[in-house]
Structure 1
Amino acid sequence: MNQSKKDQIHDGEHDIDNGGCHELNPDENSKALFQAPQDLFNSEEGEVNFRGVSWQGAAILIAKFQIGLGALSLPSTFHVLGFFPGILCFVILAVITTVAGYVSGNARQYYPQMHSIGDAAELLFGKGAREFIGIIYYIYLALVAGAGMLTTSVALNALSNHGACTMAFVAVACAAAFIFGTGFRSLEKVAWISWIGVAGIVFAIWITAIACLARDRPAGAPPGPINLDIRVLPQASFTEAMSAISTQLFALGASGTFFSVAAEMKEPEKFTRSLIYGQSFIVLTNIAIASIMYGKIGQYLVSPALGSAGDLIKKISYGIAFPGLLVTAILWSHIAAKYWFVRILRGTRHLQSNTVTHWTVWIGSMAVTVVFGFIVVGVVPFFDDFLSLVGALINPVFTNVLPGFMILFYLGANPSRASDSVRNVETGNVISPMIWLPNAFKTYRNGWKQASALVGGIFMILLGAFIIVGGTYSTVLSIQASYHDGSVSGVFSCGDNS
């Protein structure tokens, strides 16, 4: 047997007890053949280059995914959880989502065929899991894209003094997301406008925070004496606390998209650097803004939060934040459509060629995504609670559960670099969880690093399951309360949402 063949076939040298990926029985009649997986996007072939994102561009994409819709919801969570427990909870969730991002973004160094968290689900549990996780992942992305369109309509209402029907403004955001999102087929181009998006939102929330500091009393406070009711420790029920925790996780819940960011990087081995810069900037910004606003406003935080410093500052802030809010709709629509685009054209020449099929699938994916987001925004009468429900029910799967299982997979299967990562050619199946999962629980004997990783992976899975159950229960109760107090709006409402 020549050397190249030896490189492709595992001969039992790396058996399971030594942490290898697979053990072959040489007496089996059908000896399994293995080959290294191929990179999803080939930067040297094809007319469209999907591998053009620099590490700086990846850092700004990570920052943009993580900031926008949930940034100014944090002060209210501090009021529910208490200031110090609220910060501690947010820091713990930030660490967990950073670990999840690290595992997700660096996965393609071992498995370069990966593009989404659906591919990770297939690696862990097989093809059925890929389809199931892939569908709920797409729904989640499309709903966040719809939320971006809705937030853009809030800005337009604020700037125009409700100059048109809200659904008309949502339609404008929908059209802009389709035009720009379709025109930029690669994330490299989206990264450029993400710089503008991040800068706009960060400047807007800092202007709001500083304006709040300069006011004698909160803009949302009623006439007469006020009580900020600053809570150092929590004074909340279980359902209120779980709702606040789900909100915090939603503000940091984009780690599932990092597979796609790494897939389009020029140098995916530098993803960790991008993650550190992007995530650190967002976490520190969120803590600083939330602390300032809660300390000054307390319980009188206005929703949407950019209106917390009065009407004039609200218009200024929304004017500055408007490009960033629109970029949120564009970016999430783009990444959602890219899921189906890659899912349909994977392994064909159309993926990176300017063919009719290529453009038909891409335009169709974008159109379906933005229309879906528009319809859900208009049809669901309790969209904020609905998005919280989706965040509580689905978000932990991407930020906790699957990344936790991936840690266990790495422990149990011990994959080497991409050149040695293997897949069975005859079946197309990955290593059975019946092999890697039991092996993962044995790795505590290999030293404190493996034992720590094992405990961390299990903790992420259990915490994710807890948030799914508790957060979903709390959000359902909130939806019921909204119906009881009559705050549920109508379908395709034209009312002012600013």
Structure 2
Amino acid sequence: MADEIAKVYQPPVEDKDLADTNTVTQGFEYDEYPPSGKDAAHIPANAYEVDPFSAQRADHEEDCVDFRSMGWVQAGLVATAENIALGALSYPSIFLRLGMVGGLIANVGLGVLAYITAWIMIDFKMKHMGVMHFADAGGLLFGPWGRRILGAGMVAKSIGLGGSHVLAGRQALNTLSTNAICSVWYALIIAFVSVMMSTNREFGKLAPLSWLSVSCILIACMITIVATGVQSSSVLVKHGVPIEWHATPTNPNLMDVIGALTNVVFAYGGNMGVFSWCSEMKNPNDFKKSFLITQGLGIIVYCIVGATIYAFGGQYVTSPAFTMTTKPVRITAYAFALVTILISGIVGLNVGAKYLYVNTFRKSRLLTSKGLRARLAWVGIVTVMWIAAFVLAELIPFFNQLLTIVSSLFSVWFSYGLCGVIWFYNKHPYYAHDGEIRSMTGFWPKFFMGCAILSIALSIAITPLGLYSAIQGIRDGYSAGTFTHPFSCS
């Protein structure tokens, strides 16, 4: 299938270094892409056709960080560390709300669709090599305000993701230490350690840590699956009601179903980083192979974890599923999961941080400089974002609902809806430029158009329903008095 699709989706330009070609016209209008390195300094900083990393490397090779260094295996590891994290152990609760069949269909369907939309994004990147992140794509599609809005969305989602990892890390340390100190201090420790581990600007430097992260979460998942399968039912059973699982939802309501779907969307929210990761690859088109591994492994892990633990725990499943096991097992699983909590949080937050870094220094030598000022600028951006994540996690008592809001407003559009818009802009004959020939004949163009339409429709539906679900959850939480006060030690 991949070969047949590739015949339709041939990249319009080769991914060369800027110094490989010498054809330049007057007025800095280039007949051929990419332009020559000797004129890189004159390239407009906001040009979406020119990769600023390669442009600066061509002009300042003696003092230049080679951001374009990742191979497809490294990129796949980084993307997998972002996609497969502690959220895997929330999947049993998704299966509880959707039923066994509904959970499998939602997970496989949205996972496959997320890979197709990532393919669309990579083709768009190959045609516009200066698109360094999703905000750049927004600028090309919708103009300056599109760039600003999507940039703000990237930062908001990254901070929200960092905050969720602060909370998860706090819970892990509380479990491991039996609440030895106030949990606010544990949250601060997670934020501080995350900053210390984020000093490298290149995503490629995170590949070894990403391998460790994926290994640890798979071990934690296996421990939880085995423990829930072999432990006595008395650990979970209450009031003598036996464990039961169902193929379809029992007494479903709109909030539960939409909440479950937004959780699946959030799990596949790593698509927001596709442009950022491609921008640091030797050949961005190879990310199609990287993301195939990422999504394939993600779908398999989510299905196995969600289905087996739901079958073992039935109506008693919890999120995360660690809490369904006995204390010794829970402590062991959390010890492995803590590694993943730290590393996957760094990868996710760095996507938003890299947007801020590139956006701030695109016109500056600091973008690729090896100097101390450039490194301190990066650490400063990362520090501010982790402080914001810590404050957000401790200040807002309805954090799960906040993540649902962020997922409804941004994750679903970054992973699905905007990718559908990108396909129409990039491939549909209606949007062809003067002299450009586009054809819709054959199966694959129509297939991708159908996926683009489905992605847009899905996003339009989930956004208002997800917001309704979150707002209703906030109201219910305040009515029941279940929200704790800010900076609580509980």
Place the TM-score, normalised by the shorter chain, in its bin.
0.7 to 0.9
Candidates 468, 471, 477, aligned match of 1:476: 471
1:449-480 Cα distance to aligned partner (Å, 9 max, x none): 32222222111101111011111111211111
Indicate the SS of the match to 1:446.
coil
1:200 aligns with 2:216: yes
- 1:70/1:248 contact within 8 Å kept: no
1:15-26 to 2 correspondence within 5 Å?
A: none
- Determine the C-alpha separation between the residues in 2 that align with 1:403 and 1:318: 36
Q: Which residue of 2 aligns with 1:37?
A: 49
2:456 to 454, 458, 461: 461
Please say if 1:257 is aligned against 2:252.
no
**Aligned pairs for 1:224-239 within 5 A:** 224-235=239-250, 236-239=252-255
1:226 deviation in Å? 2.6
CA shift in 2, pair 1:3/1:171, >3 Å: closer
Q: Which residue in 2 is equivalent to 1:104?
A: 121
The total of aligned residue pairs comes to 445
- Distance in 2 separating the partners of 1:239 and 1:409: 34
For 2:96, the equivalent position in structure 1 comes to 79
Contact 1:101 1:255 in 2 (8 A): yes
Shift of 1:356: 5.2
Q: What does residue 17 of structure 2 align with?
A: none
Distance apart, 1:218 and its partner CA: 6.2
Q: Which amino acid counterpart does residue 338 of structure 2 have in structure 1? A: F
Classify the secondary structure of the residue corresponding to 1:299. helix
Deviation of the 1:329 alpha carbon: 2.4
Equivalent residues of 2:412, 2:459 under 8 A apart: yes
Counterpart of 1:324 in structure 2 is 340
Matched residues in 1 for 2:478 and 2:432: separation?
A: 45
Which runs of at least 4 in structure 1 moved beyond 6 Å after TM superposition?
A: none
1:93 aligns with 2:110: yes
Once the two structures are superposed, what CA deviation does each residue of 1:46-101 show, in whole Å capped at 9, x if it has no partner?
43121222211111111111111421111111111111122111111111111122
Give the aligned partner of residue 301 of structure 1: 317
Instruction: Give the 3 Å change call, closer, same or farther, for CA 350–121 of structure 1 in structure 2.
Output: same
Moved more, 241-250 or 41-50: 41-50
Q: 1:75 to 1:444 in 2, by over 3 A?
A: farther
Partners of 1:286 and 1:313 in 2: how far apart?
Answer: 21
Q: What does 1:343-422 align with in structure 2 at a 5 Å threshold?
A: 343-355=359-371, 357-412=373-428
Which residue of 2 is the match for residue 18 of structure 1?
none
Distance, in Å, in 2 between the alignment partners of 1:89 and 1:438 is 37
Pick aligned residue for 2:442 from 447, 467, 470: 447
Within 2, Cα distance between the matches of 1:201 and 1:296? Answer: 20
Q: Which residue of 1 aligns with 2:355?
A: 339
Q: Which amino acid in structure 2 is aligned with residue 489 of structure 1?
A: T
- The TM-score normalised by the length of structure 1 is 0.84
**Residue in 2 aligned with 1:154?**
171
1:357, distance to aligned residue in structure 2 (A): 4.3
Following TM superposition, by how much is the alpha carbon of 1:347 offset from its aligned partner in structure 2, in angstroms? Answer: 3.1
Aligned sequence identity (%): 25
The runs of 5 or more residues in structure 1 that have no matched partner are 11-34, 414-434
For the 8 Å contact 2:113–2:451, the answer to whether it is kept is no
Counterpart Cα distance in 2 of 1:478 and 1:349: 47
Task: Give the unaligned 5+ runs of structure 2.
Answer: 1-21, 33-46
Letter in 1 for 2:488: S
Q: CA deviation at 1:108?
A: 2.4
Q: Deviations over 1:95-146 (max 9, x none)?
A: 1111122222443221111211111111211121001111111110111011
CA distance in 2, matches of 1:314, 1:143: 26
Say if 2:96 and 2:317, in contact at 8 Å, map to a contact too.
no
Does the 8 Å CA contact 2:94/2:260 hold for their aligned counterparts? yes
CA gap 1:319/1:36 in 2 versus in 1, 3 angstroms: closer
Deviation at 1:219, TM superposition (A): 3.2
Q: Is the 8 A contact 1:412 1:436 kept in 2?
A: yes
TM-score (norm 2): 0.86
The equivalent residue for 1:184 is: 200
Distance change in 2, residues 1:302/1:449 (3 Å): closer
Partner of 1:277: 293
1:82 is paired with a residue of what secondary structure?
Answer: helix
User: What's the Cα RMSD here?
Assistant: 2.4
The structure 2 residue matched to 1:211, chosen from 197, 218, 227, is 227
SS in 1 for 2:197: helix
The equivalent of 2:484 in structure 1 is 489
Report the CA distance between 1:301 and its aligned residue.
Answer: 1.2
| Aligned residue type for 1:40 | P
2:233 counterpart SS class: coil
C-alpha separation in 1, matches of 2:345 and 2:106: 28
Q: Equivalents in 2 of 1:75, 1:332: separation in Å?
A: 23
Distance, in Å, in 1 between the alignment partners of 2:481 and 2:365 is: 54
How far residue 166 of structure 1 moved from its aligned partner, in angstroms, is 1.0
Change (3 A) 1:172 1:230: same
Q: Which residue of 2 aligns with 1:286?
A: 302
Alignment partners' CA distance in 2, 1:437 and 1:492: 54
Q: CA offsets, 1:222-278, max 9 Å, x none?
A: 2x5233231211230122211111111111111111111111112222111111112
- State the Cα distance separating 1:3 from its structure 2 match: 8.2
- 3-state SS, counterpart of residue 74 of structure 1: helix
Distance 1:291 1:36, change over 3 A: closer
TM-fit CA distance, 1:286: 0.9
Matching residue's letter, 1:121: G
Distance 1:4 1:218, change over 3 A: farther
